[in-house]
Amino acid sequence: MKRALVILVPVVASAALLSGCGVKTAHKSVSAAPVAGGTGWKPSTPIKVKQGDKVVIKVGNLTKVTHGFSIDYFNVHQTVDAGKTIQVKLVPNVKGRYVIYCQLHPAHKKTELLVT
């Protein structure tokens, strides 16, 4: 019985560790900034991630006022103060295109989270 446990415990522990190996962490960055005569996101191209990956988005604010960062589908609604940076973490479990917008300023140019 002891010999079986000596063999079984490392096997179970290894299986538990390896089961998460298919999940990656995607690090992305975007900043609220002056763009095209207004305020928007730089870069303005969609943030591209894979379905099921852990996503960490570094959200900066290059302006002089507080801005919002919202993705409704993933229940993300945060603010980032002027000159500051926050991190938004999520695991997108559904493929699609999701609008990223500033909930504090409706005229702020939007971008997207593209989950493939």
For residue 16, is pLDDT > 60? Answer: no
For residue 17, is pLDDT > 50? Answer: no
SS3 string of the chain?
A: CHHHHHHHHHHHHHHHHHHCCCCCEEEEEEEEEEECCEEEEECCCCEEECCCCEEEEEEEECCCCCEEEEEHHHCEEEEECCCCEEEEEECCCCCEEEEEECCCCCCCCCEEEEEC
pLDDT at 9: 52
56: tokens are 């960490």
Type of residue at 74? F
Q: If pLDDT is split at 50, 70 and 90, which confidence band does 23 have?
A: confident
Domains assigned to the chain: 23-115 (2.60.40.420)
Dist. CA 45–CA 29, nearest whole Å: 11
pTM over 0.85: no
32: tokens are 């609220």
